[in-house]
Amino acid sequence: MSGYKNFAVVGAGSTGSFIIRQLLKEKATGIVDNVVVLTREGSKTTVDGDAKLIPVDYSNKESIKNALVGVDVVISTLASTVLHLQVGLAEAAKEAGAKLFVPSEFGARTEGATEGFLGFKANIQNQLRAVGLPYTLFYTGGFADYLWTPAFGLDVTSGKVSIGGKGDRQNPYTSRVDIARYVSYILTRLPAEQLNNRSFTMVGDRKSFNEIFKEYEAKTGKKLEVTYIPVSELDARLATNPRDIYAFLHKFWSSGPDPKKENDNHLYPDWNPSPLIDHLPVA
Ligand SMILES: NC(=O)c1ccc[n+]([C@@H]2O[C@H](COP(=O)([O-])OP(=O)(O)OC[C@H]3O[C@@H](n4cnc5c(N)ncnc54)[C@H](OP(=O)(O)O)[C@@H]3O)[C@@H](O)[C@H]2O)c1
């Protein structure tokens, strides 16, 4: 049995736009039949290409159901601040006849997590399981093409970076282009029964910050000044402000649950994801 052909992507934001673009490439080659994009009423979202943009009221089940007529797979790429909307979305998708729901994960493994942001995503998963529509989770590690900003202390172009702990923990990363290719391939090529209620872990590259900065220095000939922030300092920041995303991420990268080395890359034999170093900006 072949994979799915009719898709809805919810939220064409920083992750969703890449997935929409890839699904439209698949549509151009006949692998995908139809792509619709759900957006908030009043949003300024636009989509390029052959996808229909449908404004919906997420508080109105009929509005969502109408948008999902004929859709097999609903891929949520909603922002992390509105993940609770996915429960109503999945209920409406089930009633509209969709076969599969892909919640907005696209990060570290969350199944079994009980605390913090990962615990929040795991809690949403439990609510989605109760809806009874089959689901598929995609774990990607950090976005390889998204991290190198002053907001995370990782603006390599400034010559100065800050990292939590000792910088020697290897973490997984995947770029959004490669995430979109992997998600699209798995959902369109694997038979439905291999997708239901399971997770797929993709790993584009796996590096420690010390390793990647060394590669950057070798590639550019520029020396980086690296400041190491003790985990105790990150803990103190989080105690003062639990929403401190900088402290959360650096603590997670340095001393969060150790990401498993196992992955499901082999399910897409021609994937060939780009290495992390290709995504570090060169000033
Ligand atoms: N692994 C990583 O490094 C990493 C990095 C970033 C994000 N992520 C994960 O990727 C997923 C998507 O994040 P993102 O950064 O791509 O999201 P985003 O671009 O911030 O937002 C996605 C879309 O959510 C919709 N949205 C925002 N606020 C809303 C509201 N109040 N009500 C209804 N819809 C709303 C918007 O769509 P419309 O305007 O069209 O309605 C928006 O374009 C999340 O699960 C996040 O945790 C992972």
Query: Is residue 65 included in any domain, yes or no?
Result: yes
Q: How many A from CA of 79 to the centre of ligand 1?
A: 2
pTM: 0.97
pLDDT score recorded for residue 1: 46
Q: How many A from CA of 88 to the centre of ligand 1?
A: 17
The protein residue with its alpha carbon nearest to ligand 1, atom 23, reads: 11
Indicate if 216 and 130 belong to the same structural domain: no
Q: Any residues with Cβ below 6 Å from ligand 1, and which? A: 11-16, 39-40, 43, 45, 58, 77-80, 82, 85, 104-107, 140, 142-143, 146
pLDDT score recorded for residue 2: 63
The protein residue with its alpha carbon nearest to ligand 1, atom 6, reads: 143
CATH of the domain at 256: 3.90.25.10
CATH of the domain at 44: 3.40.50.720
Query: Is residue 91 included in any domain, yes or no?
Result: yes
Indicate if 197 and 243 belong to the same structural domain: no
DSSP string, the chain: -----EEEEE--STTHHHHHHHHHHHHHTTS--EEEEEEETT------SS-EEEEE-TT-HHHHHHHTTT-SEEEE---GGGTTHHHHHHHHHHHHT--EEE-S--BS--TT--SHHHHHHHHHHHHHHHHT--BEEEE--EETTT--SGGGT--GGGTEEEEETTS---EEEE-HHHHHHHHHHHHHHS-GGGTTTEEEE--SEEE-HHHHHHHHHHHH-PPPEEEEEPHHHHHHHHHH-TT-HHHHHHHHHHHSSPPPS---GGGSTT--PPPGGGGS---
Query: Is residue 121 included in any domain, yes or no?
Result: yes
Indicate if 272 and 148 belong to the same structural domain: yes
Q: How many A from CA of 112 to the centre of ligand 1?
A: 22
Q: How many A from CA of 224 to the centre of ligand 1?
A: 32
Distances (CA, A) of 50 to 69, 74, 94, 267: 18, 17, 25, 28
Domain limit, last residue, from 184, 201, 218? 201
The protein residue with its alpha carbon nearest to ligand 1, atom 17, reads: 79
Determine the Cα angle at 109 with ends 31 and 160, to 5°.
Answer: 100
Indicate if 41 and 132 belong to the same structural domain: yes
Indicate if 184 and 226 belong to the same structural domain: no
Query: Is residue 24 included in any domain, yes or no?
Result: yes
Indicate if 275 and 154 belong to the same structural domain: yes
Indicate if 124 and 241 belong to the same structural domain: no
Query: Is residue 112 included in any domain, yes or no?
Result: yes
Residue 197, phi-psi category: left (phi > 0), alpha (psi -120 to 50), beta (remainder): left
Instruction: State the CB neighbour count (10 A cutoff) for residue 66.
Output: 13
Q: How many A from CA of 16 to the centre of ligand 1?
A: 8
Choose one of 9, 10, 14, 175 to mutate for the ligand 1 pocket test, by most ligand atoms within 8 angstroms of C-beta: 14
Domain count, the chain: 2
pLDDT score recorded for residue 23: 97
Indicate if 62 and 22 belong to the same structural domain: yes
Indicate if 86 and 186 belong to the same structural domain: yes
Q: Domain range spanning residue 97?
A: 6-140+176-201
Indicate if 19 and 110 belong to the same structural domain: yes
The protein residue with its alpha carbon nearest to ligand 1, atom 5, reads: 143
Query: Is residue 197 included in any domain, yes or no?
Result: yes
Choose one of 45, 75, 80, 174 to mutate for the ligand 1 pocket test, by most ligand atoms within 8 angstroms of C-beta: 80
Indicate if 106 and 133 belong to the same structural domain: yes
Query: Is residue 1 included in any domain, yes or no?
Result: no
Q: How many A from CA of 259 to the centre of ligand 1?
A: 23
The protein residue with its alpha carbon nearest to ligand 1, atom 31, reads: 82
Q: How many A from CA of 39 to the centre of ligand 1?
A: 11
Q: What is the pLDDT along the chain (283 residues), one digit of tens a residue?
A: 468 999 999 999 999 999 999 999 999 999 999 999 999 999 999 988 889 999 999 999 999 999 999 999 999 999 999 999 999 999 999 999 999 999 999 999 998 888 888 899 999 999 999 999 999 999 999 999 999 999 999 999 999 999 999 999 999 999 999 999 999 999 999 999 999 999 999 999 999 999 999 999 999 999 999 999 999 999 999 999 988 989 999 999 998 877 878 999 999 999 999 999 999 998 7
The protein residue with its alpha carbon nearest to ligand 1, atom 9, reads: 106
Q: How many A from CA of 222 to the centre of ligand 1?
A: 34
CA-CA distance, 227 to 185, in Å (whole number)? 40
Indicate if 127 and 208 belong to the same structural domain: no
